[in-house]
Amino acid sequence: HTLLIRLLCLDFVQGRIVGGYTPSPNSIKYIVSLQSSKGQHFCGGSLVHKYWVLTAAHCNIGPWVSRTPELSAYEGTEQYSKPLSLVPHPQYNSSTTNADIMLIKLSAPIELNRYVSLAPLPKQNAGLLAGRMCRVSGWGSTSHSGGLTPLTLRTVRLPIVSTSKCNSSNSFSGNITTNMICAGSSTGGKDACKGDSGGPLVCDGRVYGLVSWGNGCGDPRFPGVYTAVSRFRRWIDQTIYSPFSRCLKSAGLFSRED
Ligand SMILES: *[C@@H]1O[C@H](CO)[C@@H](O)[C@H](O)[C@H]1NC(C)=O
Ligand SMILES: *[C@@H]1O[C@H](CO)[C@@H](O)[C@H](O)[C@H]1NC(C)=O
Ligand SMILES: *[C@@H]1O[C@H](CO)[C@@H](O)[C@H](O)[C@H]1NC(C)=O
C-alpha cells in the first residue's frame, strides 16, 4: 500500500506522528514516501496524477539528483518511481513558509490499481470550519542504518483550528497567511512532526492540507500548520496539464510510456 519515490539527497533525522495509531493496511491508497537513495524516508506526499506527486516545497532539500535507476520493480503492492523534475510553487518563501507546496513529476507513470489510487483534492478556495475533524498521516523512520528500513505509517485525528486563534498573540502571532490552515488538539499530544512534512491532512476524504511547519510537536498552544491545498487547486491543475508537461511527454523524455 506504499508508493515509494526515491530521491538522492541528504539524510537527516526526523520526528514522527505524535499520539497516533497505525491505520489498517491499504486504507490510504495515495500516500507517498519520499526517500533518499539510501532508502531513508524524509518527507510524505500524495499521488495526484499517475505522473505527479504533491508535497511541500520545503521538502526540496538538496542536493538531489535522480541519477540511480536503482529500484523500479514492484515489491508486493508497493511501487517505486524516480523524480523527473521538481516544480516548487513560484511564490514559495522559505523564511515565511508561505506557499509551501511543490509538485514532483515522475519519470514513469504509477499504475493505478486496487492498492494505489489518486488523492481527491478540494475545489479552489474551498474552506473548512473550525472543529472539523481531519486526519494526518506519515511515517516514522525506524533506523538510520541505510538500506530500505521497514516503515510504519501512522495516522492521527485532529480538529481544524480557526485562523484567528492560530494567528493570535497566544499562538503564532501574525505568522499565519491565507495560504495556511491550522489543525491540532486543544489538549495537545496529537500532531504531525518533522518527518511527516509534505504528507496529507485529509478532511471529508480530500487532501485539504500538507504538513508544513509548527512549533515543537503536540504543544496545545501551537497547532500544526498546513499548506492550504484549496488555495492552490488551480495552480496544481495548470501545472499538471500545462503545454510544457505535455511537451516533456511528447519529446519522449519518459523512460516508459503507458
Ligand atoms: C519572503 O518574505 C519576507 C517577509 O515577508 C520578505 O521580506 C522576503 O522578501 C520574501 N522573500 C521572497 C524571496 O519573496
Ligand atoms: C513569527 O515570525 C517572527 C518573524 O519571523 C518570529 O520572530 C517569531 O518567532 C514568530 N512567532 C511565532 C509564534 O511563530
Ligand atoms: C495574521 O496576522 C497578521 C498580523 O496581524 C496579518 O497580517 C495576517 O493577514 C493574518 N493572517 C490571516 C490569514 O488573516
246 DSSP assignment: H
> pLDDT (tens digit, 9 = 90+) per residue, 217-238?
888 999 999 999 999 999 999 9
254 in any annotated domain: no
What distance in Å separates the CA atoms of residue 22 and residue 156, rounded to the nearest whole number?
A: 9
Q: Which of 161, 167, 168, 179 for a ligand 3 pocket mutation test, highest count of atoms within 8 Å of Cβ?
A: 167
Rounded to two decimals, what is the model's pTM?
Answer: 0.84
Q: How far is the CA of 111 from the centre of ligand 3 (A)?
A: 42
Residues 106, 164 within the same domain: no
Among protein residues, the one with the nearest Cα to ligand 2's atom 3 is 175
What pLDDT does residue 5 have?
A: 47
73 in any annotated domain: yes
Q: How far is the CA of 174 from the centre of ligand 2 (A)?
A: 8
Q: Which of 173, 180, 213, 215 for a ligand 2 pocket mutation test, highest count of atoms within 8 Å of Cβ?
A: 173
- The residue among 17 and 182 whose pLDDT is bigger is 182
253 in any annotated domain: no
97 in any annotated domain: yes
Tally of domains in the chain: 2
Grid cell digits, residue 102: 511543490
Residues 104, 144 within the same domain: no
What does the mean pLDDT of the chain come to?
Answer: 78
What pLDDT does residue 67 have?
A: 32
- The residue among 244 and 89 whose pLDDT is bigger is 89
Does position 164 have pLDDT exceeding 50, yes or no? Answer: yes
Phi, psi of 78 (to 5 degrees): -80, 150
Closest by Cα among 96, 158, 99 to 128:
158
What distance in Å separates the CA atoms of residue 226 and residue 101, rounded to the nearest whole number?
A: 10
- Ligand 3 pocket, residue 167 CB under 6 Å: yes
Which CATH number characterizes residue 58's domain? 2.40.10.10
Does position 109 have pLDDT exceeding 80, yes or no? Answer: yes
Residues 187, 226 within the same domain: yes
Residues 38, 83 within the same domain: yes
In ligand 3, which atom is closest to the CA atom of 167? Answer: 1
Residues 146, 105 within the same domain: no
What pLDDT does residue 20 have?
A: 64
Q: Show which residues are catalytic.
A: 58, 100, 197
In the chain, alpha helices (H): 163-166, 233-240, 243-250
46 in any annotated domain: yes
Domain finish residue from 118, 150, 169: 118
Q: Provide the residue range defining the domain that includes 78.
A: 31-118
Residues 159, 82 within the same domain: no
Residues 111, 138 within the same domain: no
98 DSSP assignment: B
